[in-house]
Amino acid sequence: MGNPLVSVCMITYNHEPYIKEAIEGVLNQKCSFQIELVIGEDCSTDNTRLICENYSKTNPIIKLLPSNKNLGIMPNFTRTLEACNGKYIAFCEGDDYWTNPNKLQKQIDFLEAHPEYSLCFHDYYEKKADRLSKRIINYPDSFNINEYARSLSGIQTLTVVCRNELNPIIPPSYVNKITGSYFIFLRLAEIGSFKYIKEAMATYRIHPGGVYSGKDIFTQGNMSLSNKQHMAQYMRTRSTSVYKIIKRTYVKNALYLTLYFFMRLSLKNMIHFGNLSFILGFSSLHLYYPFYYIYTKVKMR
């Protein structure tokens, strides 16, 4: 097999009930170009590795990266990304799956025709137990880094295809500071615009073992704020305007969580997120956002 045009980055750990569906979703892609599936298997304690090994024996496009010890999410994610040789990288974690066999072809056709774009993504479905719901992302058809910095969320990783032009993809000093892929998306936004395709072509699975979806609101909030904090610090010396936007996004998120727990009479958690809201300094949001939050909650009743 020659050099693939697209590398599919798949990290997996204890995904025995789901990994077959994830792999099949990639193998079922109908493409006019070569792809490779790079699986970072992080020393699972169930049969995940065995399933991956069986698939790799009969599918030469699969590059299996087993680990002799559990590395953790970001180190495993980083090593798997670094093993991707394609001009483009697509993502699908071992507990999610693609549903449209033309997904890659559609996204690559766009990126090949529009070199000014660094990333392409789309809508998706959420699956919780037997319930399936469509998630429509509230983004314009195309946008730049300033617009992305205003939310730093909404783009689900399994919907993304991006250019493999970052070196390193994740700077070594950030590997153990961040979780997930939003930091990578921010860096990609520095080198090109983003394209949004209004079509659901994949399914994001919500289950108790999910890296993010399986956590409670308190833990999710801490993960989200930590990511935004490090993204702001990364941009501080690179773009003052983007830094200010991310800071505002961070403070708004922290204040929302503060008031969320205030409304639920959870004093300890309220103080925790209230203190975090000042990590990047004071913002005008500290003065008026609490009043706005309470007003909207009262209005909805």
User: Domains of the chain (ranges plus CATH)?
Assistant: 6-206 (3.90.550.10), 217-300 (no CATH)
Greater confidence, 94 or 299? 94
**CA nearest 277: which of 262, 265, 264, 294?**
262
Residues 6+ apart with CB under 8 A from 57: none
If one compares 41 and 177, the residue with the highest pLDDT of the two is 41
SS (H, E, C) the chain: CCCCCEEEEEEECCCCCCHHHHHHHHHCCCCCCCEEEEEEECCCCCCHHHHHHHHHHHCCCEEEEECCCCCCHHHHHHHHHHCCCCCEEEECCCCCEECCCCHHHHHHHHHHHCCCEEEEEEEEEEEECCEEEEECCCCCCEECHHHHHCCCCCCCHHHCEEECCCCCCCCHHHCCCCCCCHHHHHHHHCCCEEEEEEEEEEEEEECCCCCCCCCCHHHHHHHHHHHHHHHHHHHCCCCHHHHHHHHHHHHHHHHHHHHHHHHCCCHHHHHHHHHHCCCCCCCCHHHHHHHHHHHHHHHHC
Q: Which residue carries 């559990």 as its tokens?
A: 70
Q: Alpha-carbon Rg of the chain, whole angstroms?
A: 20
* Contact (CB, 8 A) for 42 and 13: yes
Asked if residue 212 has pLDDT above 80, the reply is no
For residues 261 and 268, what is the distance between their CA atoms, to the nearest angstrom?
Answer: 9
Q: Is 266 exposed, middle or buried (0-12, 13-18, 19+ CB in 10 A)?
A: middle
User: Residue 86 is encoded by which pair of tokens?
Assistant: 């394609």
24 confidence band (pLDDT: 50, 70, 90): very high
118 phi/psi in degrees, rounded to 5 = -105, -15
Does the pLDDT value for residue 215 go beyond 90? no
Q: What is the pTM of this model?
A: 0.93
pLDDT surpassing 60 at residue 1: no
pLDDT at 194 over 90: yes
Identify the CA nearest to 115 among candidates 185, 192, 63. 192
- Nearest CA to 21 out of 214, 204, 157, 209 is that of 204
94-124 pLDDT, tens per residue? 999 999 999 999 999 999 999 999 999 999 9
Residue 294 pLDDT greater than 60, yes or no? yes
Neighbour count for residue 282 (Cβ, 10 Å): 10
Statement: residue 255 has pLDDT above 60: yes
- CA 139 centroid distance within chain: 16
Taking residues 264-286, report their average pLDDT: 96
d(CA 170, CA 77): 10
Average pLDDT, the chain: 94
Q: How far is CA 153 from CA 66, 179, 267, 272, 274, in A?
A: 30, 13, 27, 22, 21
Cα–Cα distance, 151 to 107 (Å, whole number): 23
